[in-house]
Amino acid sequence: MASTFSERLRPGGAAGAAPDKRPPLAARLADRIRHGDIGALPVILGLVAIAVVFRIANPFFLTPLNLTNLFLQIASIGAIATGVVLVLLLGEIDLSVGAVSGLCAAVMAVVVVNHGLPGWLGVVAGLLAGLLIGLFQGAWITKLRVPSFVVTLAGYLGWQGALLWILGNTGTVNLSDPFIVALVNSRLPVWLGWALAAATVLAMALGEWRARMRRAGAGLPAEGSGRVALVVLRSAVLLAAVLLMSLNRNPRGNPPIAGVPTGVFIVLVLIALLDFVTTRTRFGRYVFAVGGSAEAARRAGIPVDRVRIAVFALASGLAAAGGLLAASRLYAVNQSSGGGDVLLNAIAAAVIGGTSLFGGRGSTWSALLGALVIGAIANGMDLLAFASSVRFMITGAVLLAAVTLDSYARSRREQFGR
């Protein structure tokens, strides 16, 4: 469902090949939709529809201040959902990510507040705790052949108990360390935001150019215009987001408030790095291969067990990162950290964004798209003073629609042998 339009090889791109006689782009797009290869199109159209509806209902929705707040609100869920995407690519599930995020935030808080260690060391301790939890769960699933649903459900319960045990009688630990607070609540200088955005766009363009040169050197056909269009779209969205967050969000006050929030920057970096890993490295190809068919991957010589363990470790590490970002934004860790609807929102974000529940198809950017859908619905309804019950029902309906569309697209691909 979430594969891009350029994931398959296209004829006629190599040097010396026959002239390109393919149908126009619109016809190829219609053909892919008919065959169930719809990519991220539904979620993008959904985001546009959400923006239009809430803009009509409340003009404040699309202001720089509200949209920047929206990006900050989804930072934690976006990080956690990125790890969920990796697990879903294997065709597995991790029900412990919410509890892991709260537990690792508690580890950070106790290390810094109760033991007086520097904030950066607390962050390292929290991330390390997440990686170790993921290694433990991944090894249990892989070596003992216990279903991931059962292991991570046990983890969901066990890590919640560990959170309560670590916090002890205090219940709540307030955070004031400057390093931890700055993880989300500070801003990059405007010039630095633009410099990083320009460097990212340049890196994406160079990466695409190098990929094309390698394919041409190997005598393989070019990937066509779809991949280029994807790079252009991502670049345009990135520059538009930086422009939005570079505008003054305090027009009536002094000093002006502008710049990319550090929490948004951290999440974008995490997603971009994981996108590079999954699309441009051998490990990423192994993940998709195992998700497509574990037995075929094993026969091809891929170390399936190590790939599974590594993915569960990354998922828990990203859950820890999400928990640290949430603690930084709230200036505290308490007994409900990582609880509530954190787990459900993280899984929903991955699925709504376009990652297939059946494994082997998806992108880490789908975590960001899904988190934006969930966050936009919640933010818009808060502006309109809707009850939480309505928000939950609408989010559930969107999730059901996304899963139904995924199932339909999968059946169409199987029908046409794609």
DSSP character string of 175-227: ---HHHHHHHH-B--HHHHHHHHHHHHHHHHHHHHHHHHHHHHTTPPP--HHH
- The pLDDT assigned to 33 comes to 53
3-state secondary structure of 163: helix
- The pLDDT assigned to 388 comes to 77
The two structure tokens encoding residue 412: 């169409």
- Burial state string for 185-214 with b = 16 or more CB within 10 A and e = fewer than 16: eebbebeebbebbeebbeebeeebeeebee
- The pLDDT assigned to 6 comes to 40
> Residue 305 and residue 311: Cα distance in Å, rounded?
10
Please, what CATH class does the domain formed by 37-186+261-416 belong to? mainly alpha
> Residue 384 and residue 54: Cα distance in Å, rounded?
9
Parse the chain into domains and list their residue ranges. Answer: 37-186+261-416, 187-260
- The pLDDT assigned to 19 comes to 47
- The pLDDT assigned to 142 comes to 94
Residue 58 Cα to chain centre, angstroms: 28
Which of 302, 234, 314, 233 has its CA nearest to residue 274?
314
- The pLDDT assigned to 417 comes to 55
3-state secondary structure of 286: helix
**pTM summary value:** 0.85
What are the residue ranges in the chain where pLDDT is below 50? 1-20, 22, 25, 36
User: Is 288:70 a contact under the CB 8 Å cutoff?
Assistant: no
| Cis? peptide before 255, omega within 30° of 0 | yes
Taking residue 296's Cβ as centre, other Cβ atoms within 10 Å add up to 11
- The pLDDT assigned to 147 comes to 93
